[in-house]
Amino acid sequence: MKALLFPGQGSQFVGMGKDLFESFAAARGILRRTDEVLGFSLSGLMFDGPEEVLRETRNAQPAILAHSMAAWEACGAPWAPNTLVAAGHSLGEYTAYTVAGALHLEDALRIVRRRGELMYAAGLKHQGTMAAVLGADAERVQAACEQVEGIVGLANLNSPGQIVISGEVPAIGEVGRILKEQGAKRVIELKVSGAFHSPLMESAAEGLKGVLESAEIRPAQFPVYANASASPVVEPSEIRASLVRQLLQPVLWEPSMRAIARLAPEEFLEIGPGQVLKGLLRQTDRGFSCRTLGTVEELQAIEVGG
């Protein structure tokens, strides 16, 4: 069994996917379809920037999905569905459902583009931010959140030593102060346009719910471990509910990885730009084997190595 992992926002970079486009006809097809669906040259933005425009939520999300799908198609999707499980980090959950056949690529691109717009608008409506906490466990971070006034809570349980919090700016600052006094290594405010994965995304979740209800979603061909529950999801109604919930609730990434590990996959494969998820997996358990598939060199290695 292979466990497929798909990265989320923050993994984008100028130049992403360009080598795939130049080397694989299947990747070129995905990126050209992406441009057609969205009505502008997202591939040009991916290849040449500028970085500040690529980093915008509405652009970064479809760019990462397109890169991951280009890599997946370029590697030839060589494994049977009954030998796969998957998970995607936040935005990456959409990629996982697309690879699993639950979403058409065209629908997935339109949805994540709209998702990015809705998240940005919610950030303007309810000012908030996020911060990464290094060197404190989830229980300690949760306790600190409960000590302060305002909206703040866990947003990402990424690995044993990396928790992300999300909420109102003053509350984030106060939680950070408490945790540093208690011995946390670092509290790093993230460059984001809103308090993602928190109740401050309520307006975005409502808008996204309508978008998902109008989209065709089919049963997934293999289980996808949902961010909001760390449990496998297959049915369309569960997929819709999970994608709305993940905007408002923590991304249970470490619990998802441990749940998948109990299935004893022979390896994890991070498909898409960067190696963020590989790094989180190593922080969770150095015994987990993970390869990355996002560049021509990496894809050529898997063609040789199987």
CATH number where 177 lies: 3.30.70.250
Q: What is the b/e burial string over 63-95, where b = at least 16 CB atoms within 10 angstroms of the residue's CB?
A: bbbbbbbbbbbbbeeeeeeeebbbbbbbbbbbb
Residue at 52 is within a domain = yes
H/E run at residue 6: strand 2-6
User: What's the rounded Cα separation, in Å, for the pair 306 and 75?
Assistant: 10
Question: Of the listed 89, 159, 197, 229, which one is catalytic?
Answer: 197
Q: Are residues 6 and 33 in the same domain?
A: yes
- Contact present, 273 and 70 (Cβ < 8 Å): no
With cut-offs at 50, 70 and 90, classify the pLDDT of residue 306. Answer: very low
Q: Are residues 287 and 223 in the same domain?
A: yes
Residue 55 CB coordination number (10 Å): 19
- Positive or negative: CA dihedral 199, 201, 206, 210: negative
- For 111, counting Cβ atoms within 10 Å of its Cβ (0-12 exposed, 13-18 middle, 19+ buried), the class is buried
Looking at the predicted structure, is the pLDDT value of residue 25 above 80? yes
Residue at 21 is within a domain = yes
Residue at 194 is within a domain = no
Which of 146, 168, 189 terminates a domain? The answer is 189
Query: What's the mean per-residue pLDDT of the chain?
Result: 96
Looking at the predicted structure, is the pLDDT value of residue 17 above 60? yes
Residue at 160 is within a domain = yes
What phi, psi does 132 have (nearest 5°)?
-95, 130
Known catalytic residue at 256? no
Tell me, what CATH number does 25's domain have?
3.40.366.10
Question: Of the listed 43, 68, 90, 198, which one is catalytic?
Answer: 90
Looking at the predicted structure, is the pLDDT value of residue 305 above 50? no
Known catalytic residue at 197? yes
Residue at 93 is within a domain = yes
pLDDT at 304: 41
User: What's the rounded Cα separation, in Å, for the pair 147 and 23?
Assistant: 54
Looking at the predicted structure, is the pLDDT value of residue 302 above 80? no
Number of independent structural domains in the chain: 2
Q: Are residues 151 and 62 in the same domain?
A: no
Q: Are residues 203 and 69 in the same domain?
A: yes
Residue at 209 is within a domain = yes
With cut-offs at 50, 70 and 90, classify the pLDDT of residue 273. Answer: very high
Range of the domain at 50: 2-124+199-305
What phi, psi does 270 have (nearest 5°)?
-90, 120
Q: Are residues 39 and 58 in the same domain?
A: yes
Q: Are residues 140 and 9 in the same domain?
A: no
Average pLDDT over residues 78-83: 92
Which of 161, 189, 217 terminates a domain? The answer is 189
Q: What confidence tens digit (pLDDT) does each residue in 169-199 have?
A: 999 999 999 999 999 999 999 989 899 999 9
pLDDT at 303: 53
Tokens of 75: 């590697």
Looking at the predicted structure, is the pLDDT value of residue 10 above 80? yes
